[in-house]
Amino acid sequence: MKNELTDFLAYIASEKGLSSNTIEAYRRDITAFMEFIQPLGIASFSEVETSHFLEFLAHFKEKGYASATLCRMVIALKVLFRFLTRESHIPTNSAFYLRTPKLWQLIPEVLTYEEIEQLLKQPDAATPLGARDKAILEILYASGLRVSEVCSLDICSVDDTFVRVLGKGKKERLIPVGEEAIAAIDDYLQHHRSNYDSRRQQALFVNRSGNRIDRIAVWKMIKRYAKLAGITKNISPHTLRHSFATHLLDNGADLRVIQEMLGHANISSTDRYTHVSRSHLQEAFQKFHPRLSTLE
């Protein structure tokens, strides 16, 4: 991929006449994208799918990047992939359908209640990794945490009713956590987490080496269990956060309460879930209203 990037930068410098500042910005954005997809096992631009762009942008949106910066990232990737396609470095342009306006405000993918149940059933809680994975899935859905927040949890971060999270901007918040999630965490701690030196390593969720788990490991884990559950939607750790918020709203929770639990500084970030909920209402109306269901 480095060779293709070098060719692309030479192209935009010589043929497009872009300023040195713009070229450097493109280089940074594309390098950030390459570093993001590399841990996912992607070794070539030809392996990139549209979902990887969306996950990349969602990651930087969660880190608080400005809309203008995200828009520039989209443009850099679109120009790069158009160049790669034209020069026959890749067979198809996977960035073709990216739209720059409000791309990061797309209605998020949401799992149904049935899909959530199937996903949560997949880990084998009798094994150390299965018990850990079940606890991670449970708390992602039960409390709507960001994947980075789950990875940063310490053993002392969770009690019988709340989880204490240090979110964006180092802001601490307390989030209620359900009985199923607590039970899964307790099982993991009592039967499996004790295999590691808790005095040395305070991280709640650890890998095989006893080190704190990272977001890429959680991403891969969720992809694996989704496949086992027969879920065909393109999901990520953030999908469970979206599902958490949408299901709360569907069941009557106040938007301000959801905002607090998600750790959104601005209510507009939470308001997009109302669009998801409305789409569910419309779907149910079309499916079950007696005046419509009888019409063929």
188 catalytic per annotation: no
Set out the domains of the chain in order of their start, with CATH numbers. Answer: 2-105 (1.10.150.130), 114-238 (1.10.443.10)
272 has a pLDDT exceeding 80: no
Enumerate residues 6+ apart whose C-beta is below 8 A from 201.
210, 211, 212
Average pLDDT over residues 190-205: 74
| Cβ-based neighbour number of residue 263 at 10 Å | 21
Percent of the chain with pLDDT over 90: 27
Average pLDDT over residues 50-71: 81
Residue that wins the pLDDT comparison between 182 and 252: 182
- 134, 238, 242, 247: the active-site residue: 238
50 has a pLDDT exceeding 70: yes
**pLDDT score at 284:** 46
Average pLDDT over residues 75-79: 90
- 52, 192, 241, 242: the active-site residue: 241
Percent of the chain with pLDDT over 70: 78
**pLDDT score at 264:** 62
What's the pLDDT band for 200 if we cut at 50, 70, 90? low
What's the pLDDT band for 221 if we cut at 50, 70, 90? very high
Residue that wins the pLDDT comparison between 276 and 247: 247
172 has a pLDDT exceeding 70: yes
- 164, 173, 264, 275: the active-site residue: 264
238 catalytic per annotation: yes
The alpha carbons of the chain give a radius of gyration, in whole angstroms, of 21
Q: pTM of whole model > 0.75?
A: no
**pLDDT score at 144:** 85
36 has a pLDDT exceeding 80: yes
226 has a pLDDT exceeding 90: yes
Q: What are the structure tokens assigned to 266, written together?
A: 């601005």
> Average per-residue pLDDT in the chain?
80
170 catalytic per annotation: no
**pLDDT score at 108:** 59
**pLDDT score at 21:** 83
Exposed, middle or buried: residue 23 (CB in 10 Å: 0-12, 13-18, 19+)? middle
d(CA 292, CA 296) in angstroms, rounded, equals 9
- 27, 168, 275, 280: the active-site residue: 168
What are the two backbone dihedrals, phi and then psi, of residue 57, each rounded to the nearest 5 degrees? Answer: -70, -40
| Cβ-based neighbour number of residue 267 at 10 Å | 11
Query: What pLDDT digit, counting tens, does each position of 78-134 carry?
Result: 999 999 998 889 998 888 877 654 444 444 578 889 999 999 999 999 999 999 999
- 59, 78, 89, 146: the active-site residue: 146
146 catalytic per annotation: yes
Average pLDDT over residues 39-55: 87
**pLDDT score at 35:** 93
- Contact at 8 Å (CB) between 147 and 222? no
**pLDDT score at 213:** 92
**pLDDT score at 120:** 95
Least confident of 83-97, 239-253, 278-292: 278-292
CA-nearest of 12, 22, 35 to 86 is 12
Render the burial of 38-48: b for 16+ CB within 10 Å, e for the rest: eeeebeebeeb
- 26, 188, 225, 273: the active-site residue: 273
Residue that wins the pLDDT comparison between 138 and 253: 138
What's the pLDDT band for 294 if we cut at 50, 70, 90? very low
